[in-house]
Each structure stands twice: as structure tokens, then as C-alpha cells.
Chain A
């Protein structure tokens, strides 16, 4: 042993009395600092989404003429107006053969959902996530009141949403869209994000954890979207569309009175929600009504070992996703006949244009199922993979992994177990969607072979498994980027596949998106080669990620 012992002189042991630094702190100054702090917390995602959505939307505006170049193409597009299945997918849209109508239909479809999810995540991050992470306590211990802190967070969100609205309005009008409609669109999207963020703000005062708050706001989003589907499926007057903010956007390009009603609706809803949040926001730190104190669970069954823990945590997540996807699959599948009826008499030129866009056999049940699954469900299952990769990282970031790896549990075994459980989850989701699609179409009287429906479900798996593998690779190499990079990859490649062709991006770039390589099953055969390539890349990525994880330090959040 290399011991270096040397005499030391004893002291009284009393440390010097630290000098007390007294600073004058005004509530206004503290509020301003809190506001800037919250601005910074949202900065990266806000800039990313603003640039991506405003840029992609402006690209759609700029390339409209190329998308619908002929009268026949415009007539085919016009024929989709008022078709329930299309409105269920894209929301309410009018005159999709016009520039404004075409662009608005893109925004009401996917972009609006992305904007809403952004609003949800921003609110739960600032209003509950920061509190969970212990960032709120020092701020609350100062001169800032709970309401002051809440106000600073809300103001930061409003700032970013306002900048987003301005970016959308400016880029779209600059790209050639009618200026009034462009600015109305930007304002409405900013207000949509604000509305969902207001829901998130309110729910974050009620739910005791960010996870629970996100679940609740996600449920609200699901209900609002379900109302949109209901509005699309019913033949009742327009008032059903007014029951959900996702429906309001569809009235933007109409008469001024409708626009006024849209903005009034948003404003009233936002004010009411934020007011409610401020009322219930006077609460104890870390307290909540939902998901806070837990009842005693004296009869809780043992979890078992690591396998049991994995099955329990992944299984709960998988069950939730399966429920949501099954419900959505049932609703969309029930609209099969409405959709098919529109395209039965479609002429060859229009069919060719749709085929060029990747939509084949639109006059068949198989064609509709392929569109619906390709539009929503493939990205849904891919997002499940991203969630699982993020959950794997969370075990490390929270340092819970230490309890296992400091015991006789190998890193590789732990990661393989978690990854396989996630992969099984992907397979289960694909099978569930396939079976539900078959059952729903059969109940609706449509004919879709069980094997075709099941193959359509199988077709959801390769891209999701690829993203799971990529997520594990990021986890191995740059663990702190696991969630942002994996979610970013899924959403960016999905938007690339969705909007890229409209922007006439080069094929080499479009081919980067895994979604582009998925066949329109069951309207087409399963592309086995593409599926195997995706599986191979995903597997290799996961193996490389596992090797990197084995030989790196554990890293905290």
C-alpha cells in the first residue's frame, strides 16, 4: 500500500463564518429572470419546429402548381371535398383544388397535430417537468409568487407561439399564398398551440407528475381528434366541427365572419383555460389531485427479476398504445365504404396522379386501408419505438439502472431484454392494428381478407423496428440525445415522406426516409426486400449501440 502519512496540526474544527451576501431582489426582476429561464427551456424545440413547419408549409405553397398541373388533376382533387374518410384524415377542408384550400388541407391534417403535440409538451415541460426536476423549488423560495412563476412560464410559451405564427404567416404569404389567408393560418396555428398548451397548463396543476399530465393532455387531444372524425363521419351540419379546435381551422379560408368566429373561439377558450389554471395553480409544491398520493398496495404481487420488471414497464406502455391504435383503427376502418365510393368512377388520369403520390387502388377497400395505415399508423408505431428508446435512456438518466448493474446483471443482458421487449411491443401493435382493421371492415360490410389485414399490420413493423435500432444506437453513442434524436428522426423522416414529394425534393434525399420504402399493403404486396433491409439496418444499429453501451460510462441526465 502506498501510504503517505504526515503530521497534521489539530484545529478547533470551526469553519470560518461565511459572509452573508444580501441582494435586493424585486418581484419584477425575479419575474423577468424566470421568464427568460423558461424561454431558454423551450428555445431549441421552438426554433426547430418553427423552422421545419413554416419551411415545409411554404414549400407546399411554392410547389402547388406542379402538384395539380392539369384540369383533370384539379377535378380529382376537388372530388375529395366533403368525403368523410378524407375529412377524417385531413380535417375539414374546402376547395382543395385551389392554392389556399390545398395548403390549408395539409395544415389541418398532419401539421395541426404536430403543432398540438408541441403545445402539449411545452406546457407539461414548463409547468410540471421543471417542478419534478427540482428547478421550481429555488424559484418559488425567492420573491416570486406561485402565480408569478406560472405567469412567467405562460408568457414564455406565448412568446414562442407568437413567433411561430409570425413565421408561418410571413413565409406562406412570401411564397405566394393570399396574404390574409396566410396570416390567418399562422395566427390560427399559433392559437391552436396556445390552446393545447393552456389545456396542458391546467392539467399540469391537477396531475402530480409530468407523465400523468402528458397522458391526460394526450387523452384530451385524442378526444378532440375523435370529435373531428365524428364530424367527418356524420352528415349533420357544420356545428359538429365547431366542437373541436381541430375543426375550427377548416373555416379559416371562408368568409370573414367565420374567421372572426374561429379567433373568438380560440381567444375565449385560451382565456378560460389559463384562468382556470391560475385558480387551481395555488397549490403545494409537487402536489396534484391526479396521480399523486398512491393507495397502499399491500397485496402487490412480486415483480420477479429483471425480466419481470421489463415485462411490467414495457407491457403497461404497450397496452396503452395498443388501446389507442385499436380504437383509431376501428374508427377509420368503419369509414371504408364512404371513401371507396368516391373513387369508383375516377378517370385514368386522376388515378395516375394519385398513384404518383403513392396512393394506389383507391377504389378498393385495400387501397383505403393502405392509405390510412400509411398516413397515421405507421408513424404511430414508429413513435412507440421512439418512446421505448427514450424509456430505456430514462432508466439510465434517473440512475435506476445503477441498482441493477451494481448487482450481477450484465449491461448487455439488460439492454437486450429491454430492446427485445420493445420489439415484441412493435409486433403486438402491428398485429393488433391488423386484426382490428379486419374486424372493423368486416362489421362494416366491406370485404377484406384476414391475411391481407394482418399483412397490413405486419407492414407497420419494419420501419418501427428500424427506428428502435437507431434509437439504441443513439443510446449507446450519445445517450443524452436518445429521446430528441430518435423522436426527431421519426418525425423528420415522416414529414420528409409526406411533404418531400410536394416540394419536389431530389429522390436521393427522399429515399432517406424509411416510410418511403413501405409498400401500400394490402393494396400492394409486402415489399419483403425493403422490409428485410430495414430489419437488417435496425439490427446492426442495435448491435452497435449495445457494444457502445457496454464500453462507455453510465451518464446521468
Chain B
């Protein structure tokens, strides 16, 4: 009945609009005599908006569940169960979109671009794991993030990397985060989503490139724990920072550490800090000198970094399609070259060359300032990690490194201490 009515109303509308149509159409719609009923144009409906809410609720439920498993039940099995759920739902069913890692870019784009309105679900996926991390450590990484979970279940033969290699590779996520923010803020591209290694696997059908890097990462993660999380994930470094000041981070022992050393090598991520045997304080003089030295090195690194990266701002800007098109047009010679699809599209858009050049000049300028900031940021990160290496830490017990630890709960079963 409804359908008949909609067809009828369409028909009425058509008669009213017919005069307007006749002007724009080359061939007016015929008046059928054979009683032909016209089908309605197929417009398959999108996923209802309510499902975005379901995603957010499931995220909260999964986070609460895994936090309960880790902190109260101290159970690795529970973490694995939640991981499997996340892989199935956030991975295969939702096909890897919406995810917290990519939501960083939505947040940045919304902050810098007044015309972009961030979907509430993307904002929720950005904020909720941060809040949980602030209270309970990186329980999100442990098994709610489908990207982390899929690597974690593949970890069968863990091999520990050299400490210096971990430190060096650990700098990559910061650079990746900086680049992602630069590209999102200029509205150029979402590189985190573009080079998401596992989305190809979650979707079953993806380009060969996407699938190949996903398979490579899974192969590596059989031996090296969570290669993407530790050495690439840009959201992971934000969680790392927040987790360092978390209120109730996971502790290896349920009561007090008896220093039995059983958990010492249990962490595949090398995130367990050993106790320092002798309490040795640095002399006041050397500490002051170190402080002054770092105080000079860090700004120097920031300036050098900014200068170096800003020299490459034109190369960085070439990712932007408008800049690329302007560049192509500038070097275009209609006599010798064949017109590319981009140039053809530009010609039909009716925009003038001058407008495009002005636009791309504005974008180049954004990239110039952005690359200074990116370089300074990278310099700051290098400087601070240098400072972290020289800092003297005194520790009496075996403790998880609050930043690096993803609360996977593997170490818990090594502890012989009973909770009281």
C-alpha cells in the first residue's frame, strides 16, 4: 500500500514538475498507453544510525570486561576471550572501521577544519580508551583494539629484541603520529587508514598491497610481540603517555613482590623493569651539569629537526592532490604530453588556473609551518628519549613499565605470591 502510494505521489510530483523537466531534458518522458508502471530508482539504505551507538556501547562493554579480567580476576584466559570477541566484532564484522587508531585523524581534522563535523562515534572511540587508560593502564591495547588483538593471538614463539633496537624502533610511532597529524590537519589524507596493515585481512578483499603488508605483519608477530603496536601505532604512543600517569596500573604481584625473579623473562614486550640492586645517587654536580646539557641539547634538536623537515615541505605537500594537480598543470605541455584524467577533470570543473595556484600556494604555506612544527616535535621526542635514557631510576621490585606495558596479563601467572 505504501509502495503504491509512493509511486502515485511520485507520479503526481512528476506531472507538476513536468514543465521544468521538459526544458532540461532532451527527450521528454513519454506518456505510456500500455499501463506501464515505472520502477523506483534503487537506493539501498545505509546502516541505520543506531548501530553507531551499538559500536560505542560494545566498546565500553569490552573495555570494562577486559579491565575486570585483568585487574580483578587476573586472568589471561579472559583477556584472550575478549581479544577474540574484538577480532570478530570490531575486526571482521565491522571490517576494521571505526577504530580508535584512525580516529586520531578525525579529531585532528575536526580541530583544524571548521567545515568538518566529526561523527560522535569517532569522537567516542578516541576519548573512551584514553579515559580507561588514565585509570587502569593500557587495557584497551590488551585485547579490545582489533589490531593489537590479532597480533597478540598470533604470538607463538616470542623472541626478545635487543634493548637499543627497541628504543630506536620505538621512535618511529612518534614520527608516524606527527606525519598523520600534519596530513590530517591540512585535510590531505588519512595516512593511518591508508596504511592500516590489518584492514585488508578483516575485509577479505583488499588490494594486494594492503593484504601483503597485513600478512607480513602477522608473520613477524609470530616471533616479535606486536610489531605494529610497538613500532608503528600512533595511537599507542598517546596511550603510552597517558598510561604513565595512570591511577591503577596492573601490578605483576597481587600482594608484595618477593623478588623470586620468576616473572623476569615472561614479558614478550620486554616491559618488565628489574629492581636496581644498589641505591646509588648521582652527585649533585654531575646532575646539574647533565640538566644544563640536556637543556641545551633539546632546543637545539628541535631547531635542527624543524629546519631539516621544513626543507622537505614541498615534498611532503606533494601528497596533497591539489598541490599535485597544480604542479602537473605548471609543467603541462599540450603539444607533447597526453592530458591526464586529473587535468581533464580540472578543465571540466570550470575553475581557473589562477584559483588553483592560489589554493595550492596556501596549502604549501600550511605545509611549511606544519613541517617546522613536525620537525620540532620529532626533535623534542628524540631529546626527551635521550633524557629518559640518562635518567637514574631506583626501583626495589619487579614492576611493569607503565608506558610500554599493554596489560596483556601474561606475566601474572608467573607470580607465585597468593593474594591475601
A binds B: no
